[in-house]
Amino acid sequence: MITAAQEALPNPVHSGAGREITYRDAIRDAMFEEMARDSNVFLIGEDLRDPWGGAYKTTLNVSNVYGSERVINTPIAEESIIGASLGAALTGLRPIAELQYLDFVMRAMDAVVNQVAKVRYMSGGQVQVPLVIRAQGGGGRSSAAQHGNSLESWLCHVPGLFIAHPSTPYDAKGLLKTAIRLNDPVFFIEHKMLYMTKGMVPDEDYTIPFGVADIKRPGTDVTIVANSRMVLLSLEAAELLAADGISVEVIDPRTLVPLDEATILESVHKTNRLVVVNEGVERCGWAAEVVAMVQKRAFSDLDAPIERVCSRNVPLPFQPDMESYVLPSVAEIIEAVKTALYVS
């Protein structure tokens, strides 16, 4: 499956100009460009059409340009959204389905786990599923327990799905294009707190291959592996730690499935210390997967136990201070780094 994802998608090298745009606009641009490139690409989900343009405005103006046949508004019926998209994908179209909140995937979980992820295998390869499911997750704005979950761990546990989890506008655009062009189902997980963040995005067409991590900040003393918004928190922590003379390397895997193990292991070989930061709840979360992989493959490179910084094992509170207490924080990341360094 991994080789299928990485066929013929080279590492981007940019020569031309770029602009600073928001994460949200990068995602929208990706969809715009792919819809222009391939008329089979269409959008389906709740409230996507103009003038609303999506709950987080990621589809603003798309129906104005491409019409309502290629931007389908659905009722609040997640299982049907996924089911219909799967059917469309099986019959030759390339749907981009949107779940307004990743939390709502739970209403479509059977379709995702037992149909979308498995039908290619169970048909002996007779069919393929060129389906992208976009959703946004995460906490930080009091969306509370039912609207702030980070459920990527659940999805990583389903063989047959690819999981992309960008943290920057550049990564978001490149990864979404790859996802759309892939002939296998991809969960493209955005973060509600990242939509307004800005970053440089090249004007030219580019894609980012799956299974290639990005070293967002090189360092020598400790490796941090983080995903989505936690990459930004880790970079903030790294900046503060640099003032203490601690050099932190921050790695953003960008895709959780497939995971770029080689980059992570190379980094741990260099620094001998690892901290994994994931917004999902600590218990049985994605961070544990990274820890297990590294301790197995780089045991003799470890000078300290691997630290995890995750959300506490409780439903996400509504009250802002309590929500901050539960979510991972820059302070906790700094503490974890210092623990790994045997520094108090």
Helix, strand, coil share of the chain (percent; to 5) = 40, 20, 40
* Residues numbered 248-267 forming contacts with other proteins, rule: CB under 8 A: none
Q: Is residue 126 involved in binding other proteins (CB under 8 A)? A: no
Residue carrying structure tokens 């219909």 = 84
Tokens of 92: 């030759």
Task: Name 306's Cβ contacts closer than 8 Å, sequence gap at least 6.
Answer: 274, 275, 276, 291, 294, 295, 340
H/E element, 133? strand 132-137
Least Å from the CB of residue 223 to other proteins = 13
From 46-54, 106-114, 162-170, 296-304, give the range in contact with other proteins by CB under 8 A. Answer: 296-304
Tokens of 76: 């609040």
In the bound state with other proteins, the residue whose beta carbon lies nearer, of 103 and 301, is 301
- How many C-beta atoms lie closer than 10 Å to residue 236's C-beta? 15
Q: Is residue 245 involved in binding other proteins (CB under 8 A)? A: no
In the bound state with other proteins, the residue whose beta carbon lies nearer, of 145 and 304, is 304
In the bound state with other proteins, the residue whose beta carbon lies nearer, of 91 and 344, is 344
Tokens of 69: 């046949």
> For the chain, how many helices (H) and strands (E)?
13, 14
Among 14, 303, 313, 331, contact with other proteins (rule: CB under 8 A) = 303
Q: Is residue 344 involved in binding other proteins (CB under 8 A)? A: yes
Q: Is residue 145 involved in binding other proteins (CB under 8 A)? A: no
Tokens of 297: 């493959």
d(CA 265, CA 223): 10
* Residues numbered 153-182 forming contacts with other proteins, rule: CB under 8 A: none
Least Å from the CB of residue 300 to other proteins = 4
Least Å from the CB of residue 253 to other proteins = 23
Least Å from the CB of residue 245 to other proteins = 15
Contact 217, 249 (CB under 8 A): yes
| Residues 268-287 as x/- pattern, contact with other proteins by CB under 8 A | ----x---------------
Q: Is residue 46 involved in binding other proteins (CB under 8 A)? A: no
Positions annotated as catalytic residues are 147
**Size of interface with other proteins, in residues (CB under 8 A):** 9
Among 301, 323, 327, 337, contact with other proteins (rule: CB under 8 A) = 301
Beta bridge mates, 281: 311
d(CA 117, CA 103): 18
* Residues at the interface with other proteins (CB under 8 A): 272, 299-304, 342, 344
